[in-house]
Amino acid sequence: MWQPLIPRLTQAGFRPITIDRRGHGASDRPHSGYDLDTLVGDVTDLIDQLGLDDISLLGHSFGALEAAALTARDHEGRVSCLVLSATITPCLQASETNPTGIPPEFLEAARGQISDDIGQWIVDNTAGYWGSGEMGRPVEHVWTQQALFDTPVRVLLALQETMSGADVRADLASIRVPTLVIHGSDDRSSPLDFTGRPTAELLPNGRLEVIDGAGHGLYASYHELYLQAIIEHLAARSVEPAR
């Protein structure tokens, strides 16, 4: 999903490094390790191996959950800037302590549909993924659908389980680095009022930018506005150190 954005980020002076999460793309597909701690550990191990510092971390959807959790646990201060794109944070599932969340039965129904008929689930959610505004190029629809088909169903289900149980409200409140929360107003996969808005409210140094009409795939359908917002955020961080 990031490949079309890399040239612009490079031209803006950044060094993009993209990651295939375990179970995705060219990475291995183990049968376990899809809990949040292990996934964050995978990214941390890569950061260690590459010797990275002064990192601007960008995560989309589930990746935003990983990015937020990693930044909160980054006691060495290597992450200096954060972007949470179409985030699923802070806490999706409704509970006694999260009464405004999504009812568990709705999340369970989604997992059931993925398990029963992944193809139909993808078809049913395509329109909602792109929102009511710009739909992006047809080739981007193909890339997105192919990425889902290429991911084992057992991996998708494991991530759905992790997503449903995740609660990073305390993590978000502890993050001090400048953070851009960028979200589509018509994101039906991760509705703004359940995710992006409360996430920005919890962040001490967070800022919410909403792209009108955009859905969950705003990185493709509104790539110019999306890139502009991200590059401006990263550039501002580079001239004004995080407090």
Assign residue 174 the CATH number of its domain: 3.40.50.1820
Does 15 map to a domain?
no
Instruction: Tell me how many domains the chain contains.
Output: 1
Question: Where does the pLDDT of residue 22 fall: very low under 50, low under 70, confident under 90, or very high at 90 and above?
Answer: very high
Q: What CA–CA distance (Å, rounded) separates 156 from 24?
A: 10
Residue 224's domain comprises 53-239
122-146 per-position pLDDT tens digit: 888 877 787 766 666 667 777 777 8
How many Cα atoms occupy the beta-carbon half-sphere of 138 within 13 Å?
Answer: 0
Does 102 map to a domain?
yes
Task: Please give the residue that has the higher pLDDT: either 200 or 138.
Answer: 200
Work out the average pLDDT over 104-109: 92
pLDDT of 172 > 60? The answer is yes
Does 24 map to a domain?
no
Question: Where does the pLDDT of residue 242 fall: very low under 50, low under 70, confident under 90, or very high at 90 and above?
Answer: very low
Work out the average pLDDT over 165-169: 96
pLDDT of 240 > 60? The answer is no
pLDDT of 243 > 50? The answer is no
Work out the average pLDDT over 40-64: 96
pLDDT of 5 > 50? The answer is yes
pLDDT of 9 > 60? The answer is yes
Q: Which of 92-96, 112-116, 198-202, 219-223 has the highest mean pLDDT?
A: 198-202
The lowest-confidence range among 58-62, 95-99, 200-204 is 95-99
Does 225 map to a domain?
yes
Does 119 map to a domain?
yes
Mean residue pLDDT of the chain comes to 90
**In the block, which residue shows the tokens 């084992």?**
152
Determine the pLDDT at residue 136: 64
Does 8 map to a domain?
no
Q: How far is CA 71 from CA 83, 174, 188, 204, in A?
A: 11, 9, 26, 13
Does 186 map to a domain?
yes
Determine the pLDDT at residue 4: 81
Determine the pLDDT at residue 20: 93
Determine the pLDDT at residue 241: 40
Does 16 map to a domain?
no
Work out the average pLDDT over 221-228: 92
Percentage, residues of the chain above pLDDT 90: 74
Q: What CA–CA distance (Å, rounded) separates 196 from 207?
A: 10
Determine the pLDDT at residue 85: 98
